[in-house]
Structure 1
């Protein structure tokens, strides 16, 4: 009895730092934000309980457009990261001369501080001095300067391209590691049977990469959905709100307009969306694991 109790106490003592960390750093801010979302907290001295008013207020036509824009921005960004990252992993996994050098060259977008990389892209998108606009004019594609960040549609896609550039190295390296874990015997057997490169990729590589693809897709989705730096530095949500996502709108409401209660309600909504993504991820991975165990 004494030994069992001592073991239990020792186990809780080991768990205490993690529990304290989760409670102070994660649980308390979440609970406090949830409570704040039911108030009219702002810069004024008094704070009143308003119930569901903040939630009813954000579900208007304007915020509905922000939600749709966020999902579209996230979808295309994650999709392009997965396509480019998978292609890059396949190329880096191939037996080609200088493979080690190419692997090193994939790292700069990930190593360079994010703000510096985003400022670099901002200069590249500049209509008067930017490299992209200059090259388009040199090749005769455009007759004059193109200010990519001055128009809604081009600014929207420009922020996606920048996010893809930053996120592709992580996807590439993660999938490259997964590819290298695939047994070579499978490829040798397929090659002996006369299977070509495309067939081997479609029948061996891709099916065995599905769990890794789902995992890195979810990681990329969460980081992209919460992406703030890229859009804020490049466009600050403009022009005319064409690049305003939920995280940008939340910042503008809570910090820019000092409407802390309304901002907290938006933050809770973002948390609910991300919790839904995580739930879907665990359901899919558990189903894949059950199928593989059969």
Structure 2
């Protein structure tokens, strides 16, 4: 029996993608990991310093930055998922003008994030911003209020913008998942007298649960690494109130030209995201297994 020769053609087709992944992902990460153990700056004298950058990072109050980042991610992603799910339900409803509503929900996601952030910074301005002006006319505020000038209000203002940008993608993603649910299940439940909320809770939600898990994980990663919104609105201020891990990394590596310290912070970001993603998938697998056994 003639032995079949090894087929190299599929590997040749995959080679460009693998090479591109190595060049734009693997090599930069390896180089960042190497720099994290050096005192690299703008100067030519680069030497190995071991774990000094990591030690110095935590001595500089990095734990507060980590906590702030996870609060930022948790609040923003929770609001995106809740409002995005509500938006998907409304967009899926059989009402006149549904197609137009689906088109109108797109602009926050289509408009470049930088432009959206600049527009919101004007809205938040206490002197000529619309939000402060409307609040004064309604009697909510006694005078101009600078939303981006105070720690708590700046943090919440940045979250509002991040949620506003992220809701359309979540809504459309979950809308597509809802439309994939077989209509026969809803019709059978409706025939048996099941109400709208019962059908949504017992049929729609369980079937779109994998989609909810996927988009929530992606949203968490994007929110964790959100840079443009915070930087344009506050640049991490006031008094570091909106400084997340990605902002702190940028300040160290780019603003202060401490590439070694910035690389150490970047490695920590990758580590945290890897641990978070692994824990998320393990939890999702356990929940799925418990549902199958019940």
- The answer to whether TM tops 0.5 is yes
Deviation at 1:11, TM superposition (A): 2.4
Question: Which deviations, in whole Å up to 9, do the C-alpha atoms of 1:161-203 show, x marking residues without a partner?
Answer: 0000000000000000000000111111111111111111111
What RMSD in Å do the two structures reach over aligned CA positions? 1.6
- TM-superposition CA deviations, 1:15-60 (whole Å, max 9, x none): 2112111111111001000000000001122111000111111113
Equivalent position of 2:154 in the other structure: 155
When the two structures are aligned, how many residues end up with a matched partner? 292
TM-score by length of 2: 0.95
Equivalent residues of 1:253, 1:263 under 8 A apart: yes
Aligned to 1:4: 5
CA contact (8 A) 1:124 1:132 kept: yes
Q: Does 1:240 align with 2:239?
A: yes
Match of 1:4, SS? coil
Q: 1:19 to 1:127 in 2, by over 3 A?
A: same
TM-score under structure 1 normalisation? 0.95
CA distance in 2, matches of 1:284, 1:13: 38
Give the equivalent residue in structure 2 for 1:211: 210
Tell me the residue number matched to 2:96.
97
For residues 233-260 of structure 1, give each alpha carbon's deviation from its aligned partner in whole angstroms, at most 9, with x where no partner exists: 0000000100000000000000011110
Other-structure match for 1:109: 108
Q: Give the Cα–Cα distance (whole angstroms) in 1 for the partners of residues 142 and 262 of structure 2.
A: 44
Distance 1:268 1:260 in 2: 12
- Aligned mates of 1:11, 1:2 — CA distance in 2: 19
- The Cα of 1:67 is off from its aligned counterpart by 0.6
Structure 1: state its 5+ residue gaps.
none
Residue in structure 2 matched with residue 20 of structure 1 by the alignment: 19
Task: Give the SS at the match of 1:43.
Answer: coil
Structure 1 CA distance for aligned equivalents of residues 228 and 147 of structure 2: 18
- Work out the CA distance in 1 between the residues paired with 2:183 and 2:17: 40
